[in-house]
């Protein structure tokens, strides 16, 4: 049982380390959240991104989530 607990502990440490590295990569990659948000909104089917359109509102919503 001790071997299993040790393995689980090592696995948890590895996951935490990898998670922090992964999150750092994500933060560095998103230089323009509006570009990413526009692509995501297009993927959801929005096509019109003119002012006050549904697409623009969705893009802004996604961009705000990315910034956080």
Query: For the segment 46-55, what is each residue's pLDDT rounded down to a tens digit?
Result: 999 999 999 9
Note whether residue 45 is domain-resident: yes
Q: What is the domain range of residue 56?
A: 34-68
- Overall residue count recorded for the chain in this entry: 68
Note whether residue 53 is domain-resident: yes
Note whether residue 48 is domain-resident: yes
**Segment 12-26 mean pLDDT:** 59
**Segment 22-27 mean pLDDT:** 52
Note whether residue 21 is domain-resident: no
Note whether residue 67 is domain-resident: yes
Domain count for the chain: 1
Q: Does pTM surpass 0.85?
A: no
Residue 64 has pLDDT above 90, yes or no: no
Q: Give the 3-state DSSP-derived string for 2-66, with helices as H, strands as E and coil as C.
A: HHHHHHHHHHHHHHHHHHHHHHHHHHHHCCCHHHHHHHHHHHCCCCCCCCCCHHHHHHHHHHHHH
Note whether residue 66 is domain-resident: yes
Note whether residue 38 is domain-resident: yes
């Amino acid at each position: 049982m001790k071997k299993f607990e040790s393995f689980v502990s090592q696995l948890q440490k590895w996951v935490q380390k990898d998670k922090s590295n992964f999150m750092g990569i994500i933060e560095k990659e998103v230089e323009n959240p509006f570009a990413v948000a526009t692509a995501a909104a297009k993927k959801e089917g929005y096509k019109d991104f003119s002012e006050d359109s549904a697409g623009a509102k969705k893009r802004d919503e996604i961009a705000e989530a990315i910034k956080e």
